[in-house]
Structure 1
């Protein structure tokens, strides 16, 4: 994380909270040492950010400090809060942390009264005991979609048959309680959906793929709409 991004993240994190936050907590959130946090806090104060507190006690950002204007209505805020909780409950740890950061970023730039709408939301999403366990790295699979890397894995279908697959991952689909990856399957030479809980021994290959006519996410959607 660039230093400028880290400083902005500190402001967002503190703005989203009403109680003091220790340097240790900030360091764990941003994955840096306490000494780095102390230097960052000093620089933020020097630049005019209204921070109170001290080392060993914790820091608090004035509730009147405005990061930038951003307005939503109550229904939109409740939907955002609930959506972030659902991501935290059902997605992988990296995406769960991203959801928390995103909600903090939104809360940080809201007026105090609207920030209360998120903090006091009456809609909740808790982790479910029905969440299937995975034997693959969910985060690596998501990133392979963005970087267009071919993925190989062993797959067991609903009949118990096992095959070895090489796919071009195109999108993640959540059909509660299951996550699926939509892909171009090189074995079947067609689009396929694979449940993540049926995948094993997954590897992201160094081989990348380029978009080809008839094998893209857009093509898959058009094919689905035509069925």
Structure 2
């Protein structure tokens, strides 16, 4: 990676994160040593990039800083094209359409030579006959996660037992060929994962929810790591 590209990638990486990032994490991401990151941070600061933090603690980039656009390389375009195809193959129709729009928008602003990379990609994802059928509205569930609304549904577990669940949906997880929703379950008073193809009669309730200590996505991740 050219040094200029590495400097831009540091800024891009920090811009996408709200918490301090250590030089070790940056070095692992960019496959360079910590000393190289220290020199790059010093050069970025000297050029006026508003970085705060220090060695051993981590670095933050001001949220007001605007990252100038940079063209994608061939590998990145292949990844974007394949990712969009996978979304179209495995997600709900609304998200599939959004993926197509996003890819069209990217292709429209690329030079012809790079736009051809997307149009003539050699990596493909096709719908699978093993894709489980869903009896719930996938789009409504996605939006309930974004708007933080409680959902209620009938759940059928592996042995075939049915229970009514009321949950705070936190995230969607794709473990091919199945989609799962990670949630805080009011019945179990704990985090649970539910397969979407085992959910029936789902309703998005008017009841909203706020982040509450012990019941957030971050809390679930920490519990899993522990």
Q: Which residue of 2 aligns with 1:167?
A: 167
CA pair 121-210 structure 1, distance change in 2 beyond 3 A: same
Q: Which residue of 1 aligns with 2:103?
A: 103
Q: Which residue of 1 aligns with 2:190?
A: 190
Query: Which runs of structure 2 are paired with 1:8-23 in the superposition (5 Å)?
Result: none
Judge conservation of contact 1:70–1:109 (CA < 8 Å) in 2.
no
Q: Which residue of 1 aligns with 2:130?
A: 130
Using the size of structure 1 for normalisation, the TM-score is 0.69
Which runs of at least 4 in structure 1 moved beyond 4 Å after TM superposition?
A: none
**RMSD of the alignment, in Å?**
1.1
| Cα separation, 2, equivalents of 1:159 and 1:189 | 22
Q: CA deviation at 1:182?
A: 0.2
Greater RCO, CA 8 A, separation 6+: 1
The runs of 5 or more residues in structure 1 that have no matched partner are 1-67
| Cα separation, 1, equivalents of 2:205 and 2:148 | 10
| Cα separation, 1, equivalents of 2:115 and 2:183 | 40
SS of aligned partner of 1:173: strand
Q: Deviations 1:105-151 (Å, cap 9, x if unpaired)?
A: 11111111000000000111000000000000000000000111000
SS of aligned partner of 1:82: helix
| Cα separation, 2, equivalents of 1:128 and 1:95 | 17
Judge conservation of contact 1:155–1:163 (CA < 8 Å) in 2.
yes
Q: Which residue of 2 aligns with 1:214?
A: 214
| Cα separation, 1, equivalents of 2:172 and 2:114 | 32
CA pair 170-69 structure 1, distance change in 2 beyond 3 A: closer
